[in-house]
Chains A and B, each alone.
Chain A
Amino acid sequence: MEISTRKEKDVAVVTVSGRIDAITAPDFEGHLDGLIVQGNKLILINLSGLGYISSAGLRSILSSAKKLKGLSGEIFFTGLQGPVEEVFQISGFQSIFKIFPSEGEALNNF
């Protein structure tokens, strides 16, 4: 799993690629927690390079989203495709998170 972060106005854009599974999920959650602690309230996660996400990855997202909600922040997504999109659909994440077709559209929204 590879994670990179850049700042676009007030939004922290996190690009994650590879796999988020039981082994890598704690690192992913740690990275998001770090961004939250730094005061980032809007986090856009680009999943276009992600090949697989397990239940542990979904848990990390849910937990980080809850932490951020308590700080009046929000997590939103872009780049959903293939099996990752399918897992988002199955788990009901598509109905609880804002999902944008592209990074540009997501950033224009804020």
Chain B
Amino acid sequence: MENDRHMMRAVKVSLAANVVLCIIKAGAIIVVDSIAILADLGISCIALAVSVILYYAIKVSNKPADILHNYGYGRIENVCEAMEGVVLIGLALAMSFQAIMFIIHPDEVHAPLVGFLCSLASVAINFWGSYYILKLARKSASPALRAEGVHFKLEGYISLAISIAFVLIILATKAGYKTAAIYIDPAATLFVSAVIAVPSVRLLKEAFIKLLDASIEESGQIDVVKVLARHIDKYCNFKDLKTRSAGRKRFVDLHIILPEHISIRKGHQVISDIKADIHSAITESEVTIRMVPCEKDCDFAREKKDCPYLK
């Protein structure tokens, strides 16, 4: 429940921040005729649309499992994460195209000081938003929120690059290099596109792998082994350990081999203990363990000795 609250708070922050960013950039574009700010405004508008989608995605993913979706709705978060990746890659391509067009047909930037101040405000909002959303994403282990936090951070870097570009434009104009100043704006846009493209591709790749039922992260798998090692004297062996994730939920499936003559009560206790330990080690996990009887292929069975796991 607390996780759900964290997530909804993060999405509301994302929505509010994106609205403010859109207003600042739309205001700036009227005064400053800058392609970099126009591209940045485009990013913020799309980010706002993604935040709205994220809001509904988080709401849906918080719904409990039902008869139609027996494993819950967690996977919608991975879909949202992939969407963020696609949107950011699309933006990088569109920005690059527009920057190249402006290099071919250059145009002068008006009121660069206003542009600089607006971009600086965007830097502050984006980095604060990123810090806050990523903090809540870590608490709730939500991939969709993590993607949104990364998105904000990237936007922060974009605005930072644009701010630096405006400083350069002001300096170049004052120094009398007007022709050079014209090219700083599209050059900054191209640089920013390249900066966004790399993490966006990584984000999309990660989301896609999760959608293809990849195993959970390595630290989670080590946690499972750790629990199995802790209970090593309670079971004969284990097999068919499988893990997967859907959004922030982690699923662990496992077969535990127990002595054939163990009582149902004791067998159930062993399974429950292992299950509880895995559950507490991996947040938001659903653990399914099946009891499998031993095949009596050990020395204890062959030599009719007391089974050590029945004690």
Is B171 part of the contact surface with A, judged by Cβ < 8 Å?
A: no
A55 to chain B, nearest CB (A): 4
Contact B298–A71 (Cβ < 8 Å): yes
Contact A62–B229 (Cβ < 8 Å): yes
Is B2 part of the contact surface with A, judged by Cβ < 8 Å?
A: no
Q: Binary interface profile of A, 76-110, with partner B (CB < 8 Å = 1, else 0)?
A: 00000000000100111100100000000000000
Contact B225–A91 (Cβ < 8 Å): yes
Number of B positions contacting A (CB below 8 A) = 20
Kindly count the residue-residue contacts between A and B in the assembled complex, taking CB atoms under 8 Å apart: 49
Given contacts A62-B232, A70-B297, contact A91 B237 (CB under 8 A): no
Nearest A residue to B238, CB-CB: A63
**Chain B residues within an 8 Å CB radius of A92:** 226, 229-230
Contact B225–A58 (Cβ < 8 Å): yes
Contact A62–B297 (Cβ < 8 Å): no
Is A66 part of the contact surface with B, judged by Cβ < 8 Å?
A: yes
Size range of the interface on A? 10 to 19
Is A7 part of the contact surface with B, judged by Cβ < 8 Å?
A: no
Contact B239–A91 (Cβ < 8 Å): no
Is A72 part of the contact surface with B, judged by Cβ < 8 Å?
A: yes
A22, A58, A70: the one within 8 Å of B222 (CB): A58
Nearest B residue to A22, CB-CB: B215
Is A54 part of the contact surface with B, judged by Cβ < 8 Å?
A: yes
Given contacts A70-B297, A70-B298, A87-B222, contact A93 B237 (CB under 8 A): no
Given contacts A93-B229, A96-B232, contact A66 B237 (CB under 8 A): yes
Is B228 part of the contact surface with A, judged by Cβ < 8 Å?
A: yes
**Chain A residues within an 8 Å CB radius of B232:** 62, 66, 96
